[in-house]
Amino acid sequence: MPKVIFLPHEDLCPEGAIVEAKSGETILDVALQCGIGIEHACEKSCACTTCHVIVREGFDSLDESDELEDDMLDKAWGLESESRLGCQAVIKDEDLVVEIPRYTVNQVSENH
């Protein structure tokens, strides 16, 4: 079984987490199952950027993002070349190292 290693996030998982995942699950579903409350305002329908994650290792094992996901990602806070929407990134057979960005677009607008 592949593992997803969530790097420490000040609010959502201060200690980080290492979680076994099943191939075919999304990064978001794995996070939610282990109690990491990544925001997902659109209920996993690829209509927002609140579940934006950065795949630090294992990015190339994921299927390529589609045009809709790319369009959404263009609006994400802190976009990087290895950014994905957690609701769209399906885990295969390789371990992943995932960073949850400090902010989402929702949090940035609420806090400023």
pLDDT in tens, 25-47: 999 999 999 999 999 999 999 99
Count the neighbouring beta carbons within 10 Å of the beta carbon of residue 67. 7
Given this model, what pLDDT does residue 107 score? 52
Domain residue limits at 96? 3-106
Residue 111 falls within a domain, yes or no?
A: no
Residue 73 above 70 pLDDT? yes
In this prediction, residue 109 has a pLDDT band, given cuts at 50, 70 and 90, of very low
Question: pTM value?
Answer: 0.92
Residue 112 falls within a domain, yes or no?
A: no
The number of domains in the chain is 1
What number is the average pLDDT over the span 1-15?
96
Joined together, the tokens standing for residue 13 give 């998982």
Q: What is the CATH number of the domain that holds 84?
A: 3.10.20.30
Q: What percent of the chain has pLDDT over 90?
A: 89
